[in-house]
Structure 1
Amino acid sequence: MLIDIEEARDTLRVDGQDNDPIILPLLESIPSYLEATTGRTWVDDDKVHPLAQTVTKFILQLWFDPQGQDSVRLKRTIDTLLVALTAVGRGM
């Protein structure tokens, strides 16, 4: 995973483990989504690119609450970050 469950809970501002059955599958899906979108994996030798971690947090927020009041802003931010991440991936 690109971020751990504690970072995910902090990002989503949720306490406890009640939402873990929802959060964990989302966290497991994000690496595949980023690979399909950008054309590369973002975990190398147990190190995760910081931009990949950032976009992971935004994607997690959107997927966890797709009808939230900030969903349009989140989508624009994610699109911009994915473009940047793709460019970074090409240069690696």
Structure 2
Amino acid sequence: MAFKVGRCLLLQHLTNSELTQQELADRVGMTKQQVNNYAHNRGVMTLENAINIASVLGCPVEKLYELEVVSVDALKKGRSSRRE
């Protein structure tokens, strides 16, 4: 079993926490634009940023993105097609 990372759920977490994008950005040491890009799926967080954001939001890191369960073969296929 493997996982494929899907849509970012940061916007929902921000709404639930009643934090603004600027407040989150200030707490984790990044720009509001970077947080906005993550929240609107225009970029994928580094593991370090995901850990810091999850810590501020009080949620597990894996809850920041939708995760799709896929077979290992499907995951390998997806990687090989990106290299071509």
Q: Which structure shows the higher strand fraction?
A: 2
Please confirm whether the aligned pair reaches a TM-score higher than 0.5, indicating the same fold.
Answer: no
| TM-score (normalizing by structure 1) | 0.27
**Which of the pair is proportionally richer in helix?**
1
More relative contact order in 1 or in 2 (CA 8 Å, sep 6+)? Answer: 2
Q: TM-score, normalised by structure 2?
A: 0.29
